[in-house]
Each structure stands twice: as C-alpha cells, then as structure tokens.
Chains A and B, each alone.
Chain A
Amino acid sequence: MIAVERLTKKYGDLTAVRDLSFQVEKGKIWGLLGPNAAGKTTTMRILTGYLPATDGKATVGGFDIFEQPNEVKKILGYLPEVLPLYPDMTVTEYLGFIAAIKQIPAAKRKEAVARAVKSAGLETTKGRLIKNISRGFKQRVGIAQALVHDPKFLILDEPTIGLDPAQIIEIRQLIKSLRGEHTIILSTHILAEVTQTCDGVVIINEGRLMASGSLEDLTASVRKKEVAVLKIRRGLQEAAEAFRAIPGVEKVNRDDGEIRIEWKPGTDPRDEVVRLCVEKEFGLLELRPLTFNIEDLYLKIVSGGAEQ
C-alpha cells in the first residue's frame, strides 16, 4: 500500500503540493491526474525519495519514505518524466547497471535483466545502443528499468508521453498486465489514460487534492441524472413537446438540431421515445446515451468549480 498523509512541498515561496493525502491499495493501478504544473511530478519525486517533503508523511509498503528511504528504494520502481537513459550503453548493459545499483546480487542479474527485457518487449533491441533506438523503444527501456528489480511498487511519471497512438496502446497493455502483482501510481494529464488503465484516481490541481477514489465511486458521485441525445429528421418542435410528456423525463432541450433528454435514474424513457418517433414519423437518425464520466468531473474541477 502507498499512503500519503498531509504532504506539503514548498520551493521557496512557491507551494507545489499542499496538504495532500491519499491512499492506494495493494495491487491496484491509480492515476494521478491534473493539469500541467498541478504538482504531479513533485508528488512522485517525494514518493520515490528524490525530493524531501517540507511537511507530512508518506509510506510505501509500510516503510516511511523519510525514515527508511533505502528500504523504500529497494521495493520501488520509478520511471521519471525525463527518461533517465545513458545513450552510449546498450540496452542490456544499461539494465545490468540498473540491476546492480538496485542491489540485485551479481549471480541473479542476468536473469533479472532477461525478465525485464521480456516483459517490456525489448528482445529485438537489447543489443543496440540506446542512442540508436526509437522513442517508443526508449520508453520501453525506461519501463524495463523500473521493473528490473521486480519491485512491488511502481511509480510512472507520464508513461505514454511522446508516443504514437499504437505505441500508447502497447504501453497501456503492458501497464495493465502488471496489475495485481504490482501497486502502480501513474501520472497523466490525459483522461483516457485514467479511464482505460486505472482502477482509481487522485485528481489534483495547484497542489491541492480535488477528488480521489475508485473510478466507479467517483462517476457515481457525479451521475445524479441520466441524459440521452437524439437526432431526428423532422418535427423538432413537435417531438420535444411529445417527449416532455413521457413520465420520468425531467428536462428536454433543443440544441443545434439535437434534442437532449434528461431523466431520473431508475426510470428509462428511451423505449417510449423510440416508439413515438416511429409512430409520428420523426425519422430517427441517432439516439446516444450521454453518461457523466470522469471527464466532466475533471473539467469541473480544473475550471474552478471544485467539488468533493
């Protein structure tokens, strides 16, 4: 488990992280979400022991990061935002060096490197100099580096930044495959990354905690009503009137050739809507649900209207 308690970090007058508390359960993947300069990297740097905090407490796997930094560093893998690669080493040499400084005994290093190479999909590039491989492979080397000592905890700072869409999917698959064995915190400012890979999310803005919890809990908290959007060929005015009369419907808005229907959770007027469209020949083109999701919450938070 990773637990952060009232963490504060000041750089001179600037407060990068303010009174931040959250917890990540064992075996889960959590996203640290926030706009640029929200304090994501600072939080991660504190958790990895790179930076000391001004105030507060953080534990990783039961070890206090400030009291027993070396114990934490042994069980933690870290991918910094700027890939920490030595361009003049081959992938294997590099991972061998990392294995050594992560205190893997000499006899087991080869095995550890081979395992990291395999799980990051680097078999074809392992003999090449790091400066000669592509950005996507460099990112994989970065991940392999974080995995080489088989840490129970992983901290990944923007693991998919600078990759093409296909590579992003691959890296996400890789991260997902680590779930269960590893407890992972990854930072991102991309919402899709959180909804697709994470079990939970911590949203921060300007160094403050805005919301945290599992994805289901958070989406449930914002989903107080359900919405669908409807597109029809003709009779916009008439249709809106008709839909308003359906029981359970709370609000019907016309907007740019579309009709937006809101209703109370528990009732579902969509059957009735479709029946009416067919009966009155409105010419139904499209009916899609508009679920409130993490995106709405995130946008609400970063645009100022903070809400726990």
Chain B
Amino acid sequence: MKNIWTVARKELRTYFTSPIAYVIITVFLVLVGFFFYSLIWWFNSQSMQMAQNQYYYSQLNINQQVFGPLLHNQSIILLLMLPLLTMRLFSEEKKIGTEELLYTSPISITQIILGKFLASLLVLLSMVALVGLLTTFAFVYGNPEIAPVLIGFLGLFLMGAAFLAIGIFFSSLTENQIVSAILTFGALLLFWIINWASNSAGGFWKDVLNYVSFFQHFDNMTQGILDTTDLIYYLSFAFFGLFLTHSVIQSRRWR
C-alpha cells in the first residue's frame, strides 16, 4: 500500500507541477459550466411557459431534464479528455528510460500500475467533485431529488475509472504518447457505440453487445437506477484494463 501511494504521489506531482491537470480540470469545468447554464436556462424558460397548464407543469422534472443530459454531456467530454490524462503514464517511462529504474526497484509491477491508476483516479475525482460543487446551485434554487443525482455522479466516476484503466493499458503498449491517446480514444468510442450493432444482431449477441457497451450501463445510472450489474460491469472493466497492462509489461520482459 505504501509503495502504491509512493508511485501515486510521484504521478500526482507530475500532473500538478506541469499544466496538465490544471488545463484538463479547467477546460472540463468551463465546458460543463456552460452546459449546466444552458440546461438550467432552458428548464427555467420551460417552467415559465408550462406554468399556465397544470398538467404539463406537473410533468417537469429537473432530474430528468437537467441532470440527465448534463451527465451525458460530461461523459462525452471525459471520453475525449481522459485519454490525455493516461497517455503518458507508461509511455513516458519507457521513452525516457525510467522504466528500467522502476522494474529494478523492490516494488512489484502491480504496485506500479495501481499507483498510476490511483493518481489518475484522484484527478478524475477532483474533476467530478468540482462539477458536483457547481451543481449545488440547482439545489439552492430548486428541489431536485438528491439520490438519483448522486447515483448519476457515481456512474460518471465509475465509467471514468474504466476509461482510465483502458488508457493505462494502451499507454503500456507504446512509447509514443499520441499513439497511446488515439488508441485509447478509438477503443473507448467503439465500446461506447458498440450497442448500435445490436439492432441488426439477434438473440444472444444482441444481449452481449448491449452488455459490453458503456452506454446502456451509464444510461441506467443517470436515471438514478442503482443496479449491481452496472457496478460490476464498470469494476470488471477497470480490472480487466489493469490486468491486461500487467500482462503486457510482464510479457515484454520475458520476450
């Protein structure tokens, strides 16, 4: 555990002594802030119009009409940004030759991987937490239900964690950061939209394609549905990514 934290602290220092973390967090907040503002403004104008009609007015739901789209927007931004957060984690070590140092030190490969994962996870957590802070305005001036919002943010965080694990895997494959980022982005997008193919597939494959796609699980959570299937999906996805990373590093040394 101590070793994991040592590696994580070193990565966090790199994130926060260079502009990387600040730029990513700031751009994320600006974009999400804009979406939040637009959604609230739209919801507000809808409320004004619907106020005349009792039935329509009762149909308005801030959870569904503001938080749902907001979480979906964020997930797309994360899809674009998180590969940039993970691209250097292993590529850089390989490129500048420091991996030789890490692998000849008395710490295990698992500890190195988990340390790097933990550091990126903490940056992700700060992104999600700051957005959470931003959305408290909705609670001050409105009365959304809190539980679905929290579940939605949990879903966002877990999906981000899975993204990071995939990014770490691609980072361990190449010493070129750009290649690592593009491969990660491609893989994530593919897993995002793979359920489109389920329309043409039938029976068993339809279920499989729907299950492996990020979208379905995330959509459940944005609606405030907390299902263990979805939790297990994200956790196993993250585990799978890290496990593959371990195999890649291990096998390269034995070749």
The judgment on whether A and B are partners is: yes
With contacts A80-B101, A85-B96 known, is A51 near B3, CB below 8 A?
no
Tell me the count of chain B residues lying within 8 A, CB to CB, of chain A.
23
CA distance A237 to B20 in the complex (A): 80
- CB 8 Å contact bits of B1-22 with A (1 = contact, 0 = none): 0010011001001100110000
Q: Are A50 and B253 in contact (CB under 8 A)?
A: yes
Q: Are B13 and A93 in contact (CB under 8 A)?
A: yes
B44 within 8 A of A: no
Name the contact of B100 in the complex, choosing from A70, A74, A76, A82 (C-beta under 8 A): A82
Q: Which residues of A contact B104 (CB under 8 A)?
A: 48-50, 73, 76, 78, 80
With contacts A73-B106, A74-B106, A97-B6 known, is A50 near B100, CB below 8 A?
yes
Q: Which residues of B contact A100 (CB under 8 A)?
A: 6
Q: Are A101 and B102 in contact (CB under 8 A)?
A: yes
Q: Which residues of A contact B97 (CB under 8 A)?
A: 80, 82-84
B126 within 8 A of A: no
B38 within 8 A of A: no
CA distance A74 to B107 in the complex (A): 10
Q: Which residues of A contact B255 (CB under 8 A)?
A: 11-12
- CB 8 Å contact bits of A249-276 with B (1 = contact, 0 = none): 0000000000000000000000000000
For A72, give the chain B residue with the smallest CB separation: B106
Q: Which of A51-103 contact B (CB under 8 A)?
A: 51-52, 70, 73-74, 76, 78, 80, 82-89, 93, 97-98, 100-103
Measured between C-beta atoms, what is the minimum distance from A145 to chain B in Å?
7
Q: Are B106 and A70 in contact (CB under 8 A)?
A: yes
Q: Which of A4-59 contact B (CB under 8 A)?
A: 11-12, 45, 48-52
Q: Which residues of A contact B42 (CB under 8 A)?
A: none
B110 within 8 A of A: no
B45 within 8 A of A: no
CA distance A50 to B253 in the complex (A): 7
CA distance A77 to B192 in the complex (A): 46
Q: Are B18 and A49 in contact (CB under 8 A)?
A: no
With contacts A50-B253, A93-B13 known, is A103 near B101, CB below 8 A?
no
**A interface SS class:** loop
Q: Which residues of A contact B105 (CB under 8 A)?
A: 73, 98, 101-102
Total A-B residue pairs with C-beta atoms closer than 8 Å?
Answer: 66
CA distance A103 to B106 in the complex (A): 7
B41 within 8 A of A: no
With contacts A89-B13, A101-B7 known, is A49 near B100, CB below 8 A?
no
Tell me the count of chain A residues lying within 8 A, CB to CB, of chain B.
30
Measured between C-beta atoms, what is the minimum distance from A1 to chain B in Å?
19
Q: Are B10 and A97 in contact (CB under 8 A)?
A: yes
Q: Are B3 and A101 in contact (CB under 8 A)?
A: yes
For A105, give the chain B residue with the smallest CB separation: B2
Q: Are B254 and A52 in contact (CB under 8 A)?
A: yes
Q: Are A51 and B253 in contact (CB under 8 A)?
A: yes
Q: Which residues of A contact B254 (CB under 8 A)?
A: 52
Q: Are B14 and A88 in contact (CB under 8 A)?
A: yes
For B108, give the chain A residue with the smallest CB separation: A70
Q: Which residues of B contact A48 (CB under 8 A)?
A: 104
For A129, give the chain B residue with the smallest CB separation: B17
Q: Which residues of B contact A50 (CB under 8 A)?
A: 100, 103-104, 253
B26 within 8 A of A: no
With contacts A97-B10, A101-B6 known, is A88 near B106, CB below 8 A?
no
CA distance A76 to B103 in the complex (A): 13
Q: Which residues of A contact B3 (CB under 8 A)?
A: 101, 103
B46 within 8 A of A: no
B98 within 8 A of A: yes
CA distance A29 to B243 in the complex (A): 41
CA distance A12 to B100 in the complex (A): 21
Q: Which residues of B contact A93 (CB under 8 A)?
A: 13
CA distance A171 to B207 in the complex (A): 66
Q: Which residues of B contact A83 (CB under 8 A)?
A: 97
CA distance A83 to B100 in the complex (A): 9
Measured between C-beta atoms, what is the minimum distance from A129 to chain B in Å?
10
Q: Which residues of A contact B101 (CB under 8 A)?
A: 78, 80, 84, 98, 145
30 intermolecular pairs with C-beta atoms under 8 Å apart:
A11-B255, A45-B100, A50-B103, A50-B104, A50-B253, A51-B253, A52-B253, A74-B106, A76-B104, A78-B100, A80-B100, A82-B96, A82-B97, A82-B100, A84-B101, A86-B98, A87-B96, A88-B14, A88-B17, A89-B13, A97-B6, A97-B10, A100-B6, A101-B6, A101-B7, A101-B107, A103-B3, A103-B106, A103-B107, A145-B101
Question: B-contacting residues of A (Cβ < 8 Å)?
Answer: 11-12, 45, 48-52, 70, 73-74, 76, 78, 80, 82-89, 93, 97-98, 100-103, 145
Given contacts A50-B100, A80-B97, A85-B98, 15 further A-B contacts (CB under 8 A): A45-B100, A50-B103, A78-B101, A78-B104, A80-B101, A80-B104, A84-B98, A84-B101, A85-B96, A86-B96, A86-B98, A88-B14, A93-B13, A101-B105, A102-B106
- Which 5 residue pairs of A and B lie closest in terms of their CB atoms, listed nearest first? A82-B97, A84-B101, A73-B106, A84-B98, A100-B6
